[in-house]
């Protein structure tokens, strides 16, 4: 069993004013694939390194399989780590790289040979066993780094942005391979990335971090559909969610009013918004859920909004349409449209948002209202 319990973990570097990790509490199940994601400096790598034992824990508890790990050195935690720059020993062959940890633990030679060849087989690098790292491509090196972790058969695998140094196509391929590996190995994996698409495609659950705090810890779909706060809402999804700040007022019905836009809330949402009358809120709407009223007839949409097309980004299957509300060209938004419809810059369109996808956040706390 390899559960990871993180209780109120805190990390302050000596001499630093602010804590790098302020307060992290997570419960990771056995065999889960957990992704730590967030912008630069959010503390995801630090958190991973604290699990590994490469960083000291200032406060809080870390338990793996119910055992307290705070004081244990990395080699006693039964973990393995794959580094962003692979960290392969350049002066050793692939075989020796993979065998290094086992040799240190005085595993018998025959057993080492079996384990290394087995891992090499899984990763398809058997033909590379006699090569040196400098004679291999980035993808091959990454596989060796993974292989080095596999041979030790640890309880927990830790990945620190392993695909960041690879090109886009290779990244996509490796993502799938790592997912498959997770199924084959049946192990707990904690994976750090800054790429939210990578996070969404790979994780069973995702930890979104910002400035050393856990913003939300949930499944990908929940993060997408029910973000806990504005940060998560804006971080997950590409292109990111559109935000307009405004206030709730009473005008026949509960109405959202902002500089460019005014519409009354759909009936289902009115009860939730009523307590916020007179307060500032942020209205969030995803590019995926904006529809051209001239085209979309079936979905239930919000009240009409008049927009003007500012820029177009055709990506093949869709076009990203960048627009502004008529009268306010400074504030740009985005919606995704089937490429079938040809827009031109300057076109005036009437749009509506799928009423099930309207999201509101408190302006001051940024927590989601609904």
Could you list the residues that contact another protein (CB under 8 A)? 52-54, 73-75, 79-81, 83-85, 87-91, 100-101, 104-105, 132-134, 148, 152
**CB–CB of 229/362 below 8 Å?**
no
Q: How far is the CB of 206 from another protein (least distance, A)?
A: 24
The helix (H) or strand (E) run that includes residue 272 is helix 270-273
Q: How far is the CB of 171 from another protein (least distance, A)?
A: 20
Q: How far is the CB of 102 from another protein (least distance, A)?
A: 9
Cα distance between residue 54 and residue 50, in whole Å: 6
Interaxial angle between packed helices 109-123 and 94-104, expressed in degrees from 0 to 180 and rounded to the nearest 10: 130
**Minimum CB distance to another protein smaller for 101 or for 138:** 101
Closest-CA residue to 101 (of 72, 77, 131): 77
Q: What is the DSSP letter of 220?
A: H
**Minimum CB distance to another protein smaller for 134 or for 297:** 134
Beta pairing, strands 205-210 & 33-37:
parallel
Cα distance between residue 122 and residue 147, in whole Å: 8
Q: How far is the CB of 74 from another protein (least distance, A)?
A: 5
Cα distance between residue 316 and residue 96, in whole Å: 46
Q: How far is the CB of 189 from another protein (least distance, A)?
A: 15
Q: What is the DSSP letter of 223?
A: H
The number of beta carbons lying within 10 Å of the beta carbon of residue 71 is 9
The CA distances from residue 103 to 119, 218, 331, in Å, are: 16, 39, 61
Q: Angle 51-161-105 (CA atoms, 0-180°, nearest 5)?
A: 50
**Minimum CB distance to another protein smaller for 106 or for 297:** 106
The helix (H) or strand (E) run that includes residue 115 is helix 109-123
The number of beta carbons lying within 10 Å of the beta carbon of residue 59 is 14
**Minimum CB distance to another protein smaller for 114 or for 135:** 135
Q: How far is the CB of 173 from another protein (least distance, A)?
A: 24
**Minimum CB distance to another protein smaller for 148 or for 205:** 148
**Minimum CB distance to another protein smaller for 105 or for 293:** 105
**Minimum CB distance to another protein smaller for 12 or for 369:** 12
Q: How far is the CB of 96 from another protein (least distance, A)?
A: 10
């Amino acid at each position: 069993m390899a559960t990871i319990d993180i209780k109120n973990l805190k990390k302050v570097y000596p001499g630093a004013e602010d804590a790098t990790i302020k307060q992290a509490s997570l419960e990771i199940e056995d065999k889960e694939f957990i992704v730590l994601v967030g912008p630069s400096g959010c503390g995801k790598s630090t958190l991973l390194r604290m699990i590994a034992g490469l960083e000291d824990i200032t406060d809080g508890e870390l338990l793996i399989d119910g055992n307290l790990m705070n004081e244990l050195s990395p080699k006693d935690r039964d973990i393995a780590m794959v580094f962003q720059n692979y960290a392969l020993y350049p002066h050793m062959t692939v075989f020796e790289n993979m065998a290094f940890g086992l040799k240190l633990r005085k595993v018998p030679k025959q057993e080492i040979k079996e384990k290394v060849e087995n891992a090499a087989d899984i990763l398809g690098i058997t033909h590379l066993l006699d090569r040196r790292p400098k004679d291999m491509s980035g993808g091959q090196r990454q596989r060796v780094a993974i292989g080095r972790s596999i041979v030790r058969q640890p309880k927990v695998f830790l990945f620190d942005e392993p695909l960041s140094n690879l090109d886009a196509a290779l990244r996509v391929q490796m993502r799938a391979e790592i997912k498959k590996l997770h199924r084959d190995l049946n192990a707990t994996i904690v994976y750090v990335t800054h790429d939210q698409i990578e996070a969404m495609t790979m994780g069973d659950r995702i930890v979104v971090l910002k400035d050393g705090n856990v913003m939300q810890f949930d499944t990908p779909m929940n993060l997408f559909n029910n973000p806990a706060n504005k940060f998560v809402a804006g971080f997950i999804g590409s292109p990111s969610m559109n935000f307009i700040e405004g206030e709730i007022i009473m005008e026949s019905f509960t109405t959202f009013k902002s500089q460019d836009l005014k519409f009354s809330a759909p009936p289902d949402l009115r009860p939730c918004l009523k307590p916020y009358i007179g307060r500032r809120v942020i209205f969030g709407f995803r590019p995926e859920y904006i529809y051209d009223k001239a085209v979309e007839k079936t979905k239930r949409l919000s009240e009409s909004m008049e927009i003007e097309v500012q820029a177009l980004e055709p990506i093949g299957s869709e076009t990203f349409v960048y627009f502004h509300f008529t009268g306010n060209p400074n504030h740009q938004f985005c919606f995704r449209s089937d490429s079938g419809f040809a827009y031109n810059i300057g076109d005036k369109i009437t749009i509506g948002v799928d009423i099930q996808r309207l999201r509101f956040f408190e302006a001051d706390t940024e927590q989601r209202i609904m």
